[in-house]
């Protein structure tokens, strides 16, 4: 349904996450919970850059004119799941006690996820939104990462958070990811595809690509 009501949550939630990352990241290093403070700084720094990079999308989503909203609250649940995954990673001590190849590898998984997600967002251009909505003259995009899967931005989100989980590993963060963020992504995909199948050409597009991972799902 078309709606001219402003959604302040898409602006407020990233700000809360930004403040939380600075506060908990500083506290983590001060308490000495870090296995490798240099890599901690890299995770925190790149996560903040990621937030800033996507803030333009949040600003665009704040204006609802000319958009047909199908979101039904999935944006907020998804954002909360994403935020809690990283904030719990910073708050709770990791099971790791010393640097290892696994920790260094997890950082590159994290970076890969961010790059893949931002590439997907850039490829989709004006059709990308943090909210599930249809814009005027909405068309199917099948270039870039959309050549391989239907929802590469969500795949990038999963990879980025897997990198976080591996590096900061604790059971609370894993639980939040599995119980909150992952189900929110899956639910969001089903809500989004209900809208997308109304767009000309999407049915044919969907027949040749899996949702998240080629050959799997």
Q: Is residue 42 predicted with pLDDT exceeding 90?
A: yes
Band the pLDDT of 8: cuts 50, 70, 90. confident
Find the length of the chain. 217
Residue 66's pLDDT is 54
pTM assigned to the model: 0.92
What is the number of H-type helices and E-type strands within the chain? 8, 2
For the stretch 62-106, pLDDT in tens is: 665 556 777 778 889 999 999 999 999 999 999 998 989 999 999
Residue 74's pLDDT is 87
Q: Which DSSP string do the residues of 65-106 spell out, in sequence order? A: TTEEE--TTHHHHHHHHHHHHHHHHHHSPPS--S--HHHHHH
Mean pLDDT computed over 142-165: 97
Residue 33's pLDDT is 81
Q: How far apart are CA 32 and CA 85, in angstroms?
A: 20
Residue 56's pLDDT is 82
Return mean pLDDT, the chain: 90
For domain 9-207, the CATH class is mainly alpha
């Amino acid at each position: 349904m078309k709606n001219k009501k402003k959604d302040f949550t898409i602006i407020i939630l990233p700000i809360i996450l930004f403040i939380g990352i600075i506060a908990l990241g500083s506290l983590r290093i001060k308490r000495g919970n870090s296995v490798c403070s240099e890599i901690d700084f890299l995770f925190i720094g790149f996560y903040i850059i990621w937030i800033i990079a996507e803030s333009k999308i949040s600003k665009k989503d704040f204006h609802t004119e000319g958009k047909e909203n199908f979101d039904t609250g999935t944006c907020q649940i998804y954002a909360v799941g994403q935020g809690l995954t990283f904030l719990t990673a910073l708050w709770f001590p990791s099971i790791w006690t010393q640097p290892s190849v696994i920790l260094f590898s997890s950082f590159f998984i994290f970076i890969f996820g961010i790059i893949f997600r931002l590439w997907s967002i850039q490829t989709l251009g004006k059709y990308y939104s943090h909210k599930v909505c249809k814009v005027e003259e909405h068309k199917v995009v099948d270039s870039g990462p959309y050549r391989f899967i239907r929802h590469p931005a969500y795949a990038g989100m999963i990879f980025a958070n897997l990198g976080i989980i591996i590096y900061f590993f604790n059971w609370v963060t894993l639980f939040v990811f599995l119980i909150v963020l992952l189900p929110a992504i899956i639910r969001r995909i089903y809500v989004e595809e209900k809208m997308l199948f109304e767009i000309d050409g999407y049915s044919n597009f969907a027949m040749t690509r899996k949702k998240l991972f080629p050959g799997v799902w």
